[in-house]
Amino acid sequence: MISITTVTPIYRGEKTLRSLVMALDEYRKSLEIPECPIRLVESIFVDDGSSDNSAQVLRELKREYPWIHVITLSRNFGQHPATIAGILHSSGDWVATLDEDLQHHPRFLNYLLKEAVNAQVDIVYANPIEAVHQSLWRDLASRGYKLILAQLTRNKFMPLFNSFRMVRGSIARAASAVSIDQTYFDVALGWFTTRIKGLKLPLVDIRYVETGKSSYSFWSLLSHARRLLQSSNVKFLRLGALIGLLTMMMGIVGIITTTVIKLKFPDLITVPGWASNIILTLFIGGLNAFLIGLVLENISVILQQSYGKPKFFEIDRSTDLIVSDWFKRFQE
């Protein structure tokens, strides 16, 4: 049997929780058919210090649905730490993370799993077919933000990042185990696998469409960007070092040229000292930039190690075939 665990971080979700659990229950029952090798074994809800009545609603739901597990965090830690806490309590072969507002509907879980096993990948991110916020400005900003960060970090998977994901259980747990409070969870997942895909699904940010308010403020997006850059191996540091090296070399060429001119053609020098000044600035500035770039790159490597980047990780994908076969037969 291939088991799925869902993990949902909850923050002020009392209004949508019941609908979500009912949708999960429906999905759970849909799998309970003969010969189906997949089971939704548990749904973990992490109450991330909600200030509304979410805790009470979760308690009631737990009584009605015994396959629900509730974890209560002592304060509001944020979406990623809450997701990590949930994953560290999971036991499924696959772990699906989804938001509480039904933007990530459980009916899509089979699509994600099917994509994962058919393509033998370890992570499938759900990506919206159309503009998720139904607001041109908001969607362009979101896309642009991800593209800029992808360029800065040279992480080609960054545009795929989404909190609706299906992750192989072992990788989800390992990435969660190594993550510290400053680690960006999706970057940590990328330390364990590069078999990552996106799947286009009809996702809509209902909260934004209805209220015009995003769950992310400008400052929280900035904080996200900072953590993303901190967790990633920042490639533009290398670019800085390269520019420094080139500038320093230009300085060296300048020194040689000026010395030759000074010795062979002194008449060509109309303003004495000007060229030497520029050349020295180029050389010393370039040298500084190059050395700082090297130091920063080393610090980046050390930081990544302290953030938990592993040397290697083993994986077993042998059960994918069972699920893949079943999906084929089920379709027929």
**140-169: contacts with another protein (CB under 8 A):** 169
Question: Shortest Cβ distance from residue 24 to another protein (Å)?
Answer: 17
Place of tokens 């390269």: 242
Least Å from the CB of residue 283 to another protein: 41
| Segment near another protein (CB under 8 A); pick from 99-107, 143-151, 176-184, 266-274 | 176-184
Is position 3 an interface residue for another protein (rule: CB under 8 A)?
yes
- For another protein, the binding residue among 43, 90, 163, 247 (CB under 8 A) is 90
Using CB under 8 A as the criterion, what x/- string covers residues 223-262 for binding another protein?
Answer: ----------------------------------------
Q: Is 314 in the site for another protein (CB under 8 A)?
A: yes
x/- string (CB under 8 A) for another protein, residues 54-83?
Answer: ------------x--x--------------
* Binding region for another protein (CB under 8 A) out of 138-146, 193-201, 285-293, 309-317: 309-317
Part in contact with another protein (CB under 8 A); list of ranges 86-94, 99-107, 182-190, 196-204: 86-94
Interaction of residue 287 with another protein, rule CB under 8 A: no
List the one residue from 173, 197, 224, 227 that touches another protein (CB under 8 A): 173
Largest Cα–Cα distance of the chain, in whole Å?
Answer: 96
Query: Quick one: which of 140, 147, 148, 177 contacts another protein (CB under 8 A)?
Result: 177
Q: How far is the CB of 313 from another protein (least distance, A)?
A: 7
The answer to whether residues 121 and 195 touch, using CB atoms and an 8 Å cutoff, is yes
Place of tokens 């680690």: 183
The closest of 143, 107, 104 to 125, measured between CA atoms, is 104
The interface with another protein within residues 191-220 (CB under 8 A) comprises none
Closer to another protein at the Cβ: 314 or 332? 314
174 lies in the site for another protein, by CB under 8 A: yes
Which of 54, 170, 193, 247 contacts another protein by CB under 8 A? 170
CB of 46 to another protein, least distance (A): 13
41 is a site residue for another protein (CB under 8 A): yes
Does 20 interact with another protein (rule: CB under 8 A)? Answer: no
Q: Please report, for residues 100, 107, 211, the alpha-carbon distance to residue 205 in angstroms, rounded to integers and kept in the order given.
A: 11, 16, 10
SS3 string, the chain, reads CEEEEEEEEECCCHHHHHHHHHHHHHHHHHHCCCCCCEEEEEEEEEECCCCCCHHHHHHHHHHHCCCEEEEECCCCCCHHHHHHHHHCCCCCCEEEECCCCCCCCHHHHHHHHHHHHHCCCCEEEEEECCCCCCCHHHHHHHHHHHHHHHHHHCCCCHHHCCCCEEEEHHHHHHHHHHCCCCCCHHHHHHHHCCCEEEEEECCCCHHHHHHCCCCCCHHHHHHHHHHHHHHCCCCHHHHHHHHHHHHHHHHHHHHHHHHHHHHHCHHHCCCCCHHHHHHHHHHHHHHHHHHHHHHHHHHHHHHHHHCCCCCCCCCCCCCHHHHHHHHHHHHC
| Interface with another protein (CB under 8 A) | 3, 41, 66, 69, 88-91, 169-170, 173-174, 176-178, 308, 313-314, 316
